[in-house]
Amino acid sequence: MSFESVKQLVAADLREVDGAIRTHLASEVVLVNQVAEYIVGSGGKRLRPLVVVLAAKACGCQGQRHTQAAAIVEFIHTATLLHDDVVDSSMLRRGQDTANAVWGNEASVLVGDYVYSRAFEMMVALGNMRIMEVMARATNRIAEGEVLQLMNAHDPDTTEERYFEVIHRKTAQLFEAGTQIAAILADGPAELEDGMARYGRHLGTAFQLIDDVLDYQADRSQLGKNLGDDLAEGKPTLPLIYALKHGSEEQRAVIRGSIEQGSIDALPQITAAIESTGGLAYTSRLARREASLAIEALAGLPDSAYKQALRELADFAVERNY
């Protein structure tokens, strides 16, 4: 089953999600509409709402509340993108100019706040305090992850443990919350809720690990951003951390200097160092382990096309090239 086939399985639900997104983004303030529509309509895999919808279907959720939940998750993701691009001074996302490159940092931050507040309005409308609890905690942990990443920036002594703490909070947390609330909406038992949360956590971790691999080996036109962007922002991701640990003295010196300065001048040498030390292979191997753990977490679900699609998404997370 291809990624497009997985999406086709729940195509009607995804149309409902898109409708909810556009309905709830609407504002009387023209600039809010322009920026929000730009970021939401700029492409992307819509992976997070897809995961929520599939998880809800796999858990036996009835009605359409899961499409509202999927829109909420996408809203929170969109808000983090708007804020991230300002913090990172990013100029390119998904192959086009970032919102802050078009409208400026002030508009991006303020519209990001608007999208966050809309997400919580929608949570209130769902009328489930448990979902509010899960999503409020997730949003808080995502913010903590952003601060931790900022603390790690330009620090070549960042450890693997500190790296994983960032991605668990910054990326995996929203996947985890999305699949967990899918089980809550289905009124599943605690064991099912726990299994779905673990699936989302491991899937999100695998997804981020491969993102960090692609930052050094993907085709720029497919990736939708500039290669080496993480290095330019002084982010010590796992391929770099591994190369720093296993590289030669000369390689370590080049990598350390580039992280400290946030420079991609030595990107060819650094890419060669990452490859020669096995940094990409190591990161990919850990991603595959996370994908396997995600699949294992689905054991409590009854067999269905939706469960199979969740398995396929775990495979896609580690096999993709964009």
Q: Give the pLDDT of residue 171.
A: 95
Which domains are delineated in the chain? 1-127 (1.10.600.10), 155-298 (1.10.600.10)
Average pLDDT in the chain: 92
Least confidently predicted of 55-59, 222-226, 288-292, 302-306 = 222-226
Q: Give the pLDDT of residue 223.
A: 47
CA distance 126 to 215: 38
Q: Give the pLDDT of residue 226.
A: 64
Q: How confident is the model at residue 69 (pLDDT cuts 50, 70, 90)?
A: very high
60 phi/psi in degrees, rounded to 5: 85, 25
Model confidence pTM above 0.85: yes
CA distance 59 to 290: 21
Q: With 90 as the cut, is the pLDDT of residue 57 above it? A: yes
**74 half-sphere exposure, CB direction, 13 A CA radius:** 32
Q: How does 130-155 read in b/e, with b if 16+ C-beta sit within 10 Å?
A: ebeebbeebbebbeebbebbeebbee
Quote the percentage of the chain above a pLDDT of 90. Answer: 77
Tens-digit pLDDT profile for residues 183-241: 999 998 999 999 999 999 999 999 999 999 998 985 555 544 566 888 999 999 999 99
Q: How does 47-57 read in b/e, with b if 16+ C-beta sit within 10 Å?
A: bbbbbbbbbbb
Q: Give the pLDDT of residue 242.
A: 97
> Measured at the alpha carbon of residue 319, what is the angle toward residues 313 and 44, in degrees to the nearest 5?
65
